[in-house]
Chains A and B, each alone.
Chain A
Amino acid sequence: MWYRSRKISLVLFALLMLIPFGAVTLAQDVVTIEWWTVSSEEYSEEVQRALVDQFNAEHPNIQVNITVLPESGFTERMTATLGAGSGAPDVAFFWDNNWFPQALDLTAYIEADPDLDPSTYFEGFWNTRSVWQDKIVGLPLGVGANFVMYNKDVFDEMGVAYPSPDWTTEDYIATATTLTDPDKRRWGGDRPRGPFRAIWRNYGAFPYSDDSTTVEGYLNSDASVAAYTWLWDLVASNVTPTPADIEILGTEGTGPIDLFLAGRLAMATLNQGHVLTAVESGVNFGIVPEPQIPGNERYANAWSLTASVWAGTEHPDEAYEWLSYWVGPEGQQFLMQNGHLFPSIPAVLETHPDADKDYVQAFFAVLEQRQVAEWVNAHPCNGTVLRAAVDAWDLVNLGEIGRDDIKATLDSLVEPAQQALDECVARLGA
């Protein structure tokens, strides 16, 4: 009897000793993926945690560990960690093109993935935000675009007809002039923030030739002069906030949303994130694309955020698993239904809960336009030469040059811009 109980005790002891080893074996099978994200108007911290919980439940071998960072500090943190070469997350937004060299090439993963088809994404966003130097460096999450939001109450008060989608740049100045009321400190509209926005392209202006060799005849082309002259007329009409006004009252963010909400801007160039705020604030508004030039191709300043796997990850397979879930149809559907994301997959976007609303339809129409980013991303030296275009834009914006001096000013910028282009092309290629 005593012998038997001793034997049982020994067996139990041996089993107990084996439990930790078993646990270790099981723990080793579970891979933890570090994921850094931000909390924004489109996907709150709570919604993203819920998405992670759902993924973790469906994938017992992968545990995603979420780190939510403030929007205003994400770039600093990513730059520091990527610069240090250690401590970077397995999966994160790679929204700065300078980070692309440190993103894992996903081409082989995507080719082998039957559930992820690049053709299901908006082509423009896929080309501008996923493909870099013939590699697939990430997947595009969500879509955004600039358009003109107008305050219907102000239009009604002034007895002005709402702008139509086919309005022109001249219509913009005329409408803004009618809506301006100095006594109420109300401006009719705002100014495009730079020549990189859609209007400059709508005029047919480009900083240099498509083969990246010539600035002369492009930066100072008739189309470019026409775009700057339109800006000059807009500035001279005194119907928009000055750069100083915007500096003081524009507030943080990507557009003068607070002035628009306060009814002090009858029209403003804003985006889908601002629409959410306007809806929440109960503002009576409408949306139209940025004004066009009749007969010219129409552009939209649109974007998506690249989400990537860090090239230094120790678990690329599991990291891709999470990335393709987060930015794939399932994840974007979840973020749309539980948050406010506008997905970058048309088939998912069509099922948007507010798809039947006018402003969402207007936003969809803007997404169908050609993107400014298509040209920008195809020309790595665009930013270098664009500085000259921005300088001229600023001179007009600040009232530093006369209407008749625009051509001469652009001519004077051609030579330094050409030098910058030549230097850049030698470095980065055409």
Chain B
Amino acid sequence: MSLNSSAAHPNDSFADIDRQLRRSNLTTALRRLAGNGFLYFIMVVLALIFMIPLLWMFTTSLKTRQEIFVWPPTWLPAVPQWDNYADAFAKYPLARFMLNSAILVMINALGEVISVPLIAFAFARLRFPGKRILFIMMLSTMMIPGQIKLIPLFSLFSRLGLIGTYWPLVLPSFFGNPFFIFLMVQYMRTIPRDLDEAARIDGASTWTILYRIILPLSLPAVTVMLVFTFLWTWNDFISPLIYLSDFNSYPISVGLAFFQGRYGVEWNMFMAATLISIIPVLVLYFFAQRHLIGGISTLGLKG
């Protein structure tokens, strides 16, 4: 009996345990689902809040100028003014401006990719006299405000006969950017030196070590550099304003400024043009966000 009963008990207890486990798993799953659901809900709400300015831009771009500041504010225009987009493009060559921006971005990105890893590698890996002083000198150039450099740089490029061309806007990137160099140096220092030494034993030259080992391993830093180069070049207003003269050579940052007149801003057309102009930035961020966020957290740029 006791055996029987003891024989029956294990089955019962297994079933109970199984039931309990199932219940427990179900509870856990439900809890997890509820937790995730709440998290997603919060994230959707936050995303919507963050999207309000974009939404406002979009609806403003479809309003008449009188509708924009009415009280109470209206989210939707009485009659959507889709013509605002056509008018904005008809008024100024926005497509041309965006193409010019894209050209500047590509050349600058190329320049940074060529120069920055090269300089950073020297600072991070090579030994040469005055390295520390040169590094500090390079870093100290980051402390000089751009406004102070504006007139000397203009004077320099003017004497070189480069005003009115893209050279002043792209040439500096081929000589490295102190901020990116600093980031890259810090990143390269985290890569174990054993890899260099192993490669060197295998007969690799310094160039091979840089381009076959260090650079591929520095991809997160390179991605961050490229994304920042894109954003900074795309949004740069003052440099193209100072150096360019031909209306058709202006980038979009300068082109958008034409919507601000002497006595006011054509907000509806300005919003239409701005919305179009940020599409490339949004697309880039959409595709590069994984690398960008990964790169930023690796480089310790967060917060």
Residues of A within 8 A of B (CB): 34, 38-42, 45, 67-73, 76-77, 80-81, 83-87, 184-186, 249, 251-255, 257-259, 261-264, 271, 273-274, 276-277, 281, 283
Given A258-B65, A264-B70, A281-B65, A253:B257 Cβ within 8 A: no
**Cross-chain contact of A271 among B72, B158, B258, B263 (Cβ < 8 A):** B263
The answer to whether A264 and B71 have CB atoms under 8 Å apart is yes
Chain B 265-277: CB-based contact to A (< 8 A → 1; otherwise 0): 1010000000000
The answer to whether B260 and A70 have CB atoms under 8 Å apart is yes
Chain A residues with Cβ below 8 Å from B67 are 262
Chain B 70-104: CB-based contact to A (< 8 A → 1; otherwise 0): 11100000000000000000000000000000000
**Cross-chain contact of B158 among A86, A249, A262 (Cβ < 8 A):** A86
The answer to whether B263 and A80 have CB atoms under 8 Å apart is no
A-B pair count, CB < 8 Å, reads: 123
**Cross-chain contact of B154 among A70, A87, A185 (Cβ < 8 A):** A87
The answer to whether B261 and A71 have CB atoms under 8 Å apart is yes
The answer to whether A261 and B69 have CB atoms under 8 Å apart is yes
Residues of B within 8 A of A (CB): 64-72, 150-152, 154-155, 158-159, 163, 237-238, 241-242, 245-247, 254, 257-258, 260-265, 267
5 further A-B contacts with Cβ under 8 Å, apart from A71-B257, A73-B254, are A40-B262, A68-B247, A249-B69, A254-B262, A258-B267
Alpha-carbon gap, A71 to B270, bound state (A)? 14
**Cross-chain contact of B262 among A42, A67, A68, A283 (Cβ < 8 A):** A42
The answer to whether A38 and B66 have CB atoms under 8 Å apart is no
Chain A residues with Cβ below 8 Å from B70 are 262-264
Alpha-carbon gap, A283 to B70, bound state (A)? 14
Alpha-carbon gap, A67 to B154, bound state (A)? 17
**Cross-chain contact of B241 among A39, A70, A277 (Cβ < 8 A):** A70
The answer to whether A251 and B265 have CB atoms under 8 Å apart is yes
The answer to whether A277 and B264 have CB atoms under 8 Å apart is yes
Alpha-carbon gap, A274 to B155, bound state (A)? 38
The answer to whether A84 and B155 have CB atoms under 8 Å apart is yes
**Cross-chain contact of A40 among B65, B155, B254, B261 (Cβ < 8 A):** B261
> Closest chain A residue to B150 by CB distance?
A80
Alpha-carbon gap, A264 to B246, bound state (A)? 41
> Closest chain B residue to A280 by CB distance?
B65
Chain A residues with Cβ below 8 Å from B64 are 281
Chain A residues with Cβ below 8 Å from B72 are 185
The answer to whether B261 and A273 have CB atoms under 8 Å apart is yes
The answer to whether B68 and A273 have CB atoms under 8 Å apart is no
Alpha-carbon gap, A357 to B263, bound state (A)? 21
Given A41-B263, A257-B264, A263:B66 Cβ within 8 A: yes
Give 20 CB contacts A-B under 8 Å: A34-B245, A68-B247, A70-B257, A71-B258, A73-B238, A80-B151, A81-B158, A84-B158, A86-B159, A184-B71, A186-B71, A251-B265, A252-B260, A258-B65, A258-B69, A264-B69, A273-B261, A273-B263, A274-B263, A281-B66
